[in-house]
Amino acid sequence: VSVSARAVFSKYSIEPASPIDFGAMIKGTKKSQVLLLENMGMLSFRFFIRQAPQRKRHGLLLAKCVEVMAVRHQPLLALFLQAALSVGMFTVSPCSSSVSPSGVQKITVDCNAGPEGKCEEQLYIDISGR
């Protein structure tokens, strides 16, 4: 009896690279940008988008521009139930899904310009099986 196996891990690319900058916007207007998450591996993977925890640095509470980057896989059952994630002036959809081998998932980031001033958030894409 011949037995064989091949160990693999998730391979992916995210375009465009972060940060995403919506630039100056008129209050009350909306702009959208699209991220492409491509599965370059041999197995399907699941992704979840979540807000990054805020960090203190030099006594200031910081949050960066909408950045999307990979982090360790953590169980995020609540995100299975969400179609979109809203953080500040930004809405991301879908915020979770599966991507098949050679598949590409379009992720839309909407910015609804609210109160005057700068709005920055940091988001993560959590990809299973890395």
Residues 46-87 have pLDDT tens digits of 999 988 876 643 333 333 333 333 333 344 444 444 689 998
Q: Which residue has the tokens 């809203």?
A: 86
**pLDDT value for 91:** 93
Grade residue 129 by pLDDT with cuts at 50, 70 and 90. Answer: confident
pLDDT digits (tens, 9 = 90+) for 11-35: 899 998 778 889 899 988 999 999 9
Q: Does pTM top 0.75 for this prediction? A: no
Closest CA to 84 of 32, 49, 38: 49
**pLDDT value for 82:** 63
**Contact between 45 and 22 (Cβ < 8 Å):** no
CATH class as words, domain 12-53+75-128? mainly beta
Q: In terms of pLDDT, which residue wins out, 18 or 43?
A: 43
**pLDDT value for 62:** 33
HSE-CB at 81 with a 13 A cutoff on CA atoms is: 4
Q: Where are the domains of the chain?
A: 12-53+75-128
7-11, 34-38, 85-89, 94-98: range with lowest mean pLDDT:
7-11
List, in order, residues 6 or more apart from 55 with CB less than 8 Å away. Answer: 61, 62
From residue 104, alpha-carbon distances to 9, 30, 48, 101 in Å are 17, 25, 15, 9
**pLDDT value for 76:** 44
